[in-house]
Amino acid sequence: MAKSNRVREDRTEEAAPKRKRSKQRSTGDGRFARFKAFWTDERTHKVFGMFLILAAAYLVVAFTSFLFTWRIDQDLVGRSLGEIFSPEVRVENWLGKIGALTAHQFIYKWFGIAAFALPLWSFLAGIRILLGTWLLPPKRTLGWTAMALFWMPALLGFAFRGDLVFLGGGIGHSITTHLTTLLGNIGTGALIFFAASAFAVFTFNLSFGWLQRGLDRMKTTEAEQGPEAEVEEAVAEPAVTGVRLRTVAEAEEELAEGPETTVVEEIEEAEAEEPEVAELELEAAPFEVMEPVTSPVVSSLEELTGDLNGMDVSAGEEDAVLSEDQIEDRLKEFGEYDPKLDLSNYELPPIDLMVDHGTGELTVTKEELEANKDRIVETLGHYNIGI
């Protein structure tokens, strides 16, 4: 019997699985490469950016419609999927059943009206992918939207109850319920206000100088009103005199004994007890009183003649008005007015006074050109440049 070559057969059997594994690896690498090429393709980026912009518009319309039609479409969410997508079921949302379900999930179940921050981010991301630019600062916008998604539901859930509970959404209702049981209504409101204040301080670095200025203004007002209040109190207090007040019984007894003498004596005592007032003596300085000088009143032009306070005044005569015939006679006699007659001796300046500037062309002699050329050659020779 001929011996078979077992070594070659074994090698052939071992090589076959290796080829299969290499084919599997190459197939997996090819799929990953195709997926990577598809994802890094510029056309994919443009399509994805357009999709994000369209999704933002879709969410805005669905959310806006939910604010007006949520009462009518509220019973839709409690049905099964078969009933929801049945052609017989109608909804009032502007974007149909998908729009009603999407708006119910984002607004009623989750974030309330703060869900409008999500379309904003979708629109900004779509513009960034499609055009390569941010319409708003990304970090600041992310901080604002993140704050709105959690703080606004808590605020609206705390402020609105009953039919308007959807404004805060399910998240706002849950946060308000837990905080109210832990801190009460006053504590919950204070915590929500503190969260907004802390966010404003970290975002805008708010200064509390206005509070210090208000306190300083209050202190200044109190300091200004202090002396005035003391003066008012001093005025309001009754003046204490040295006269003793008597009772009614004492007054009746004194009147029975001798009223006239007692009253006179008391008046004399009161006058004696009055404090002496220092009298200030002023010396009167003599002064002269000037009598006013009156000028005569002129009633007409006829009286405005002669001597008036040392001045000679004469009334002017009115100019006579000539008729047309008189004007023509004067023109024939004297002729038209010639302004040159006032300067009849004036002579025009002679032309010799003007300077002759020639034709205005610049003329250069040959000797000047040669001198300029020699000067240029000499200057270039200083820099070892020969011509």
Average pLDDT over residues 84-97: 87
pLDDT at 372: 92
Domain boundaries, the chain: 15-135, 136-206
Please say if the pLDDT value at position 199 is more than 90.
no
What is the value of pTM for the model shown?
A: 0.47
pLDDT at 267: 46
Compute the half-sphere exposure of residue 211: CA atoms within 13 Å on the CB side of its CA: 3
3-state secondary structure of 301: coil
Tokens of 31: 């799929």
Q: Where are the beta strands (DSSP E) in 223-351?
A: 306-308, 311-313
pLDDT at 360: 66
pLDDT at 50: 94
Q: b or e along 18-55 (b: 16 or more beta carbons within 10 Å of the residue's beta carbon)?
A: eeeeeeeeeeeeeeeeeeeeeeeeeeeeeeebeebbeb
Chain segment 257-290, per-residue pLDDT in tens: 554 444 444 445 545 555 554 455 555 555 565 6
Please say if the pLDDT value at position 1 is more than 50.
no
Distance CA 84, CA 90 (A): 9
Return left, alpha or beta for 278; rule: phi > 0 is left, psi -120 to 50 is alpha, else beta: beta
Compute the half-sphere exposure of residue 86: CA atoms within 13 Å on the CB side of its CA: 9
Chain segment 132-158, per-residue pLDDT in tens: 889 998 888 888 888 888 899 999 989
Task: Name the β-bridge partners of 308.
Answer: 311
Return left, alpha or beta for 277; rule: phi > 0 is left, psi -120 to 50 is alpha, else beta: beta
